[in-house]
Structure 1
């Protein structure tokens, strides 16, 4: 600011000028320099992380799995976070499995109700995203004996669970459910029709796992008499084939993948009566009901006892996912009744984790009389209290902000705990409100903020609601993990990341500038801008927009961005590129209307907003309007193409880097795509106008495009990039194209990330920094 004032006032004497230059040179010499190798091929910026665990029944106590570097064993440890006291509950050196002749490691565990036995999960492998198949052993604490629940030679086991009385274990293997009597060791199949490419019992197909977040598909009834389970028939879902060309003879990988407008798996929920062995299914109008308005069963579980009986609760949704019903199924009579109904003008979300919604849609309280329901019915995501019969009691939270996580109800203390965006869409804080209406506990009615430090707080509350673990981050602050009382008082620093914070200080990175820019319709859009540490407002810099922009997402948050954020700083510091990000209409944390503005027209409003934001930024004197680029990955790769090719994009964006993009929504899966676009049959024009393929001939001669994709991407198929390449070639357009053989949607493994970001960096230097 001082140098700018001197320049504009024409007060720069020769002496002052040389002092300024000398100071800048000294800053450059003392500033540590970022490298691509440090960011993408080392753990220099990885920092420490808190292993975490499971809360004990009360107090600041967790149970966690501790690896033993000397013996290769894993121990189950009880850890008091406040006192630091540790107690080894299971000595991993005793977990010798005679069937494999070695120690097995604890990857997951579950105690029996009486605490005498522990079910141990080990030697797992991924199915798609997660390691959901492996092997289970039963460990007897008193005797110290370990035995497998089934013969490994029969195949992997999935989602094994002890019965409520601890005498049986059930699990999924090869798409069927099995039951093992732990006293006799007898194993019996509970279903027998599961088979590849057809029937699935107790787990899910690709699209249910990817888009509804469902993997474990069965549950014991609380009294142990019944097992409820999902059954799918994927035989009518079209198969998709990927080819691994790295093999001497290429290897094909085929799986059922329903693209937008194509058939989904048929689905139903069944109940197994373990006293009679009878298997029956609820009539939910979703099993071979071609003319039914119902398409999905998106969640399932058991209710607490209602008038002395347990019911199976189910979520039923239509194909467009804007109509949700909570159903209760009676396992004795198999009758189904509707308890609650939710409708929306655009779509409803029941998935947790992909957007900013982390909590479950439905949470039963310990009183056995009520549940908490999450809804956006008043225009913002809030909590509602219902009786178990579906009668609304009251709205628990209210205001022009979104609840992003529900942590539970302290029924003794009378508080409801949640994370929300009350301070604005860039921050996340822990709050509480009274469970009862009006004043409570001597406090005024309304949300009480517990976390105080600005930024993002991810919290986990203890089971007795007396303590919580707080993971606090900011844009340039890696995670600081603390133990706190529920009042917010800090008791202990669990992970401070002091070494990483000191390391970062040596780079003298300039904090980002947060602000708003007008979207295409004038709507203020959240944005940030990264500038180099030696930024000079009298110069003109190239500008790169980083975009994701998908429904409910955010990039403009005061949160630690890890390697990608540091790479953006590398571009600023080493190449002199300003890096900005803008959350267009359709992104999250600003209410339902803002999020759903793009309904049935994905890509169009978002592209308009990114173009408008780039134009607004180009008005700043230090931004070179002829050197503006955009890059993104996945949905961001898609928006990169749309922004470059749509509307004024060819005149605004000189450079684009598109990683793993969708290029036509007809190529993507049913559940995600149709939630936002309906089907291609019902919305053909929306699909056409929202496809980068439609605009391939609009790539301008001045523009430079780099297209990147992994050829074994099971999510956004490599086919998207191939068809985009073909469309560009057919239009006579030149572009750069990089394929990562054998890599999936994440494009990682070995030195892949270093290669990827070295490639992108070189492309930006050649075409954005020093364009010809």
Structure 2
């Protein structure tokens, strides 16, 4: 193993040639320009929503007058833009002013637009606001409901366009647009108890779901999620900047604690008006064995939707997961009876990731595609709608990272994946046979430029927008035909590219370093341009390291990468990032190494990689540091404090870290760790708090946290600080009042990264602290 380490370090030295001598910092490349100005910020393509046909999108454009926005139509191929709605005319009589378009949906006939405006944030996104219907022919703007009744959420036209339904105050409502009559479809929603049509905090954060209801295809029924959070525990957030602290509480189930109960119901709108007169119940709930069921067998309902017609009726499909999230049932629910039937079951020894593209029904209404890691790699499989498996669409020792859809006329599926390298993402096309088959056809590579391709396929699957970047290349957007032929550039970053070229920044290069078990790990390295292998340099390792996430990728790294280049150029540091076992892009077995022992193999890999670096003559082995944010902050603590970490890492910066997995939420934590009762050793051995007494006197630790962090609670750092103080360990700590997990806003990032830079230059180099930011 030792010989392997030496050979990999030798490769690392040879693979990063020394650049030309770099002079002193110019005024353009400073902490200020990176973190507090737009000087080095990439321009973005405004994006939009695809029309049904052609390379046409609609998008929102700011008007010249304050607070107004236009709705635009844009033919990407011809560059013709037309105004669909003049935002300056959207005068809402109920509030006496023009309202801006923040989001929109066209009605099924295309003659009306549902406009969303005046929104407010609910945790991660602005999902509550107010809706208006704009008649394109009559040019009238009509509120969907009275604002005095409260914010509206997730409003949608019915399939006929005659009604709009929405969520308000945790209940579903529907409005008849002809009569203006509003009807409550549920009435039991209330704060702290029942939620209809949307989700609690942990479902939104970890399953990525917010909108919790859908119209049936015939417009007669609405399917919706119902949650009961009354048995979950509340968590307080305190604002200490007021004279008397303001306290906000929200439901947050921590690992091993009670989750919200959940079920799915269907409202029969035809029965709603007659229910009060003693007719049959208007809501039918599905038999999923998740509502007050208890135990571990059936805990979560993570997605749902309506199927195409099967034997003449539409059904509701849904994902059901056990608490450990390693058994996923695809169920069909019959809306008339509430009966459910299993369609397929996906199982893993470890865990299953739920994504929006995991299930896709084809346009023919007779097939669907399902993503599974059953082969050890994430791939696409074709089924009939009744659950009969026909065979794989993709296969091999590579990952499908996104499924874009199937062009049934051309019998072609489109996926993004890692077939060529896990460091990049490319678009691939594969032939689709609708007959039974045993092997996947070969995938054809569609994108060609090295780097990272984020693909947005058009509705008719004839075109795609490609957002491309590479480690040394800012993002650009281009329109392509589905064949891959480039048609036009939609947004470039030529000015930024020229500015970066003039700065002569040290490049990011890629290599591999050994993990704790000898596995070759993907690594990136940034060295000073005037790197001299006869000198010794301090090394800073940047880590995230969490399940399925990569930091070592050939894509534009934005301000984080620029700051790393700043450290290399201005302070002669070598910045290295290593994707330990447990990270993504390299298959299920690689990613599952950390299962039920989060933090342990990953930190062992970071330590071993740092030791391999220390074997090189150009590394100052007494000045190796590590830093990270969130899971990376957690990894910083684990890497500094466990195994050989105290003798390996001199300096660390831990931002917003988890310090005990019992403090984090159920869905994320138990996916990888099971519950504390089932995996006591995993929780104990994976908690940085347990190793506080291992911080050496000569280690230099900085911990940073925002006290309004609803995700990784501030209490994580408070408890870590308490343990360190109890062990009489010296360290630095910075708290950002009223700041959330991202610690952003105003000039906060400049303050944060100036402080971190000062800490690193004080302890990892002979430089004086960089107090100035100009």
Q: Same fold judged by TM-score > 0.5? A: yes
Matched, 1:627 2:623: yes
Matched, 1:682 2:678: yes
Alignment of 1:326-337 (within 5 A): 326-337=330-341
Alignment of 1:515-664 (within 5 A): 515-664=511-660
Deviation at residue 32 of structure 1 after TM alignment:
6.7
Deviation at residue 72 of structure 1 after TM alignment:
3.8
Give the counterpart of 1:147 among 142, 146, 150: 142
Alignment of 1:90-489 (within 5 A): 90-277=85-272, 278-291=282-295, 293-350=297-354, 352=355, 360-436=357-433, 445-489=441-485
Question: 2:284, 2:336 within 8 Å by CA — same for their partners in 1?
Answer: no
Q: Distance in 1 between matches of 2:704 and 2:714?
A: 9
Matched, 1:44 2:48: no
1:728 aligns to what SS in structure 2? Answer: helix
2:32 aligns to what SS in structure 1? Answer: helix
Q: Distance in 2 between matches of 1:695 and 1:177?
A: 49
1:580-601 alpha-carbon deviations (Å, 9 max, x no partner):
0000000000000000111000
Q: Distance in 1 between matches of 2:302 and 2:483?
A: 36
Question: 1:402, 1:420 within 8 Å by CA — same for their partners in 2?
Answer: yes
Q: Distance in 1 between matches of 2:422 and 2:751?
A: 34
TM-score computed with the length of structure 2 as normaliser:
0.94
Deviation at residue 538 of structure 1 after TM alignment:
1.2
Find the counterpart in structure 2 of residue 61 from structure 1: 56
Unaligned runs of 5+ in 2: 1-17, 273-281, 769-774
Find the counterpart in structure 2 of residue 728 from structure 1: 724
Deviation at residue 750 of structure 1 after TM alignment:
1.1
Find the counterpart in structure 2 of residue 356 from structure 1: none
Question: 1:31, 1:508 within 8 Å by CA — same for their partners in 2?
Answer: no
TM-score computed with the length of structure 1 as normaliser:
0.94
Q: Distance in 2 between matches of 1:629 and 1:771?
A: 15
Deviation at residue 468 of structure 1 after TM alignment:
1.1
Given the superposition, is the C-alpha separation of residues 30 and 700 from structure 1 closer, same or farther in structure 2, using an over 3 Å criterion? closer
Deviation at residue 184 of structure 1 after TM alignment:
1.0
Matched, 1:501 2:497: yes
Question: 1:381, 1:401 within 8 Å by CA — same for their partners in 2?
Answer: yes
Deviation at residue 496 of structure 1 after TM alignment:
1.1
Question: 1:601, 1:689 within 8 Å by CA — same for their partners in 2?
Answer: yes
1:240 aligns to what SS in structure 2? Answer: strand
Deviation at residue 348 of structure 1 after TM alignment:
0.2
Deviation at residue 196 of structure 1 after TM alignment:
0.5
Find the counterpart in structure 1 of residue 699 from structure 2: 703
2:555 aligns to what SS in structure 1? Answer: coil
Deviation at residue 771 of structure 1 after TM alignment:
9.3
Q: Distance in 2 between matches of 1:261 and 1:72?
A: 47
Question: 1:285, 1:292 within 8 Å by CA — same for their partners in 2?
Answer: no
Deviation at residue 92 of structure 1 after TM alignment:
1.2
Question: 1:32, 1:506 within 8 Å by CA — same for their partners in 2?
Answer: no
Given the superposition, is the C-alpha separation of residues 625 and 104 from structure 1 closer, same or farther in structure 2, using an over 3 Å criterion? same
Deviation at residue 46 of structure 1 after TM alignment:
1.2
Matched, 1:746 2:742: yes
2:165 aligns to what SS in structure 1? Answer: strand
Question: 1:191, 1:201 within 8 Å by CA — same for their partners in 2?
Answer: yes
2:682 aligns to what SS in structure 1? Answer: helix
- Higher RCO by CA contacts (8 Å cutoff, separation 6 or greater): 2
Deviation at residue 55 of structure 1 after TM alignment:
1.2
1:455-500 alpha-carbon deviations (Å, 9 max, x no partner):
1001111122221111110011110111112222211111110000
Find the counterpart in structure 2 of residue 3 from structure 1: none
Question: 1:437, 1:445 within 8 Å by CA — same for their partners in 2?
Answer: no
1:389 aligns to what SS in structure 2? Answer: coil
1:310 aligns to what SS in structure 2? Answer: strand
Given the superposition, is the C-alpha separation of residues 371 and 445 from structure 1 closer, same or farther in structure 2, using an over 3 Å criterion? closer
Find the counterpart in structure 2 of residue 85 from structure 1: 80
Q: Distance in 2 between matches of 1:460 and 1:360?
A: 13
Bigger Cα displacement from structure 2, 290-299 vs 373-382: 290-299
Bigger Cα displacement from structure 2, 91-100 vs 754-763: 91-100
Give the counterpart of 1:764 among 757, 760, 765: 760
Q: Distance in 2 between matches of 1:468 and 1:204?
A: 32
Question: 1:484, 1:491 within 8 Å by CA — same for their partners in 2?
Answer: yes
The alignment covers a number of residue pairs equal to: 740
1:407 aligns to what SS in structure 2? Answer: strand
Deviation at residue 70 of structure 1 after TM alignment:
3.5
Q: Distance in 2 between matches of 1:489 and 1:315?
A: 38
Q: Distance in 2 between matches of 1:334 and 1:320?
A: 26
Find the counterpart in structure 2 of residue 7 from structure 1: none
1:340 aligns to what SS in structure 2? Answer: strand
CA RMSD of aligned residues (A): 1.7
Q: Distance in 2 between matches of 1:188 and 1:225?
A: 14
Find the counterpart in structure 2 of residue 17 from structure 1: none
Deviation at residue 533 of structure 1 after TM alignment:
1.4
2:122 aligns to what SS in structure 1? Answer: coil
